[in-house]
Amino acid sequence: MELNKLVDQIKIKKSFLCLGLDSDLSKIPQFLLKESDPIFSFNKALIDALSDLIVAVKINTAFYEVNGVEGWNSLKKTIEYINTKYPELFTIADAKRGDIGNTSDKYAKAFFEKLSFNSVTVSPYMGSDSVEPFLKYKNKYTILLGLTSNKGSNDFQSFPSKEDSLFKQVLKKSKLWKGSNNLMYVVGATKSEHLKEIRLIVPDSFLLIPGVGAQGGSLIDTFKNGANQNIGLLINSSRAIIYAGNGNDFLNKSISVAKTYQIEMDKLIKTL
């Protein structure tokens, strides 16, 4: 997908909401367990109900890998369903890959060619040769872990040096890699106070922002500090939306939460 199509969707839907499908068999509505593939049925229902409110879908692969072959089948059916019925939605494989070149090349082929995701999350820890195999794909995007929202992120990402914190050095170095125009970055909403300085380093890149809602991040602060002329933000919400309800009416409750986000996003977009 070309990025201008994602920008168009943001303008059309007046939303920069990303639906996180952290789909867990133990948490989905129990009546769906009678389905032949409960996870896919859950995902499909949510995507159909929310397609007018979201611009992206992030599939956290861990929630599928845990179920073995059946889980991968659910993942494959979900991404194929999105690509067939909602090709305008930007898809993210939240797989957090990153290894030596030959291994990364196989990961890239798996998610970009075999599964046809638009993007994949990648750890930068092993450096350029672990990321560049992902960056060689035209109109495919690598979402680099920049400054994450978890408590342990302070162990390394904020580690100071004579120059800058480690996460800033990662951002600066990544811009020198071959294919860096295909980079996006993960920045946790709970670290929104750093967004202005991050924007000085990567002013035009899209940022994937988890942590709004359940983790306590502020949508308003994130937008104020991180939006650019194309909005440049994908606000991910997983649990707050997909587990808003667990009965037969779960979709109505999910729609209500997503609509609340979308209304607030529309107001913020109008301030630009």
The SS3 call for residue 61 is coil
User: 138: number of CA atoms within 13 Å, CB side?
Assistant: 0
DSSP state letters, 90-156: EEEEEEEE--SHHHHHHHHIIIIIIS--SEEEE--TT-HHHHHHHHTSTT-EEEEEEE-SSGGGGGT
Q: Phi/psi of residue 76, each to 5°?
A: -60, -45
Name the active-site residue from 96, 109, 136, 253: 96
Alpha-carbon distances, residue 173 vs 98, 100, 146, 164, 184 (angstroms): 16, 18, 12, 12, 14
77 is catalytic: no
Report how far residue 46's alpha carbon sits from residue 75's, in angstroms, rounded to the nearest whole number.
14
Which residues are the active-site residues? 96
